[in-house]
Amino acid sequence: SCIEKNRRRITMVELNEEFSSISFNEKISNIRFVHLENEKLLTTASSLDEFPASFSLGVDIDLFNIKANYKYQIHVFFQGDGQLHDQLIHVSNVYIHEEEFIFSKNNYGITTGSFIFGLTPKKQGDYRITLKLVDAEYQKVLDEFHQYIYLYKR
């Protein structure tokens, strides 16, 4: 019996300048979800009184190095376990004047904001909330954030 040895070729690849310079512009840097009925933070495992349910979440969001005086949107998607696609459930428009930035440099800055949206989970289970920072003019997704939660009955 003949055993054939596979030989693997390892190639060193030089990183080009485009790949090596990671962009720190137009990012979502921090998210906090607050259940508005009880003003408590939404945790990874959260209980509800009944299903199907309907409740409002407040979102506190930090945006990192966004352009001043530029139109963005934040798209909120919701997806449950077993659903093939996430559903767009909310859109917030974002337009920040440079003087409203916490810090700014070269027409980019850091800011905070908040908005409210509603969730309507049908049953107990796993869910994903996705926030996407979108260039409003070109409808290009610039960054996204995922929050995974388990909702159960009290």
Cα 130 to Cα 18, 19, 75, 77, distances in angstroms: 28, 26, 8, 5
Residue 2: predicted pLDDT: 46
pLDDT interval class at 115 (50, 70, 90): very high
- Per-residue confidence (pLDDT) for residue 125, from 0 to 100: 96
The more confidently predicted of residues 133 and 9 is 133
- Whether the predicted pLDDT of 10 surpasses 60: no
The DSSP annotation for 64-133 comes to EEEETT--EEEEEEEEETT-SS-EEEEEEEE---GGG-SEEETTEEEEEEEEEEEE---SSEEEEEEEEE
pLDDT at site 1: 43
Q: How high does pLDDT run on average in the chain? A: 89
User: At residue 90, does pLDDT exceed 70?
Assistant: yes
Kindly provide the b/e burial profile for residues 49-81, where b requires at least 16 CB atoms within 10 angstroms of the residue's own CB. eeeeeebebebebebbbbbbeeebbbbbbbbee
**What pLDDT band is residue 19 in, cutting at 50, 70 and 90?**
low
What digits encode the pLDDT tens for the residues 21-59? Answer: 688 999 999 999 999 988 999 999 999 999 999 999 999
Assess whether pLDDT exceeds 90 at residue 82: no
With 0.75 as the threshold, say if the pTM is over it: yes
Does residue 121 have a cis peptide bond before it, meaning omega lies within 30 degrees of 0? no
With 60 as the cut, is the pLDDT of residue 113 above it? yes
Q: What is the DSSP letter of 53?
A: -
Residue 12 vs residue 83, higher pLDDT: 83
pLDDT of residue 20: 52
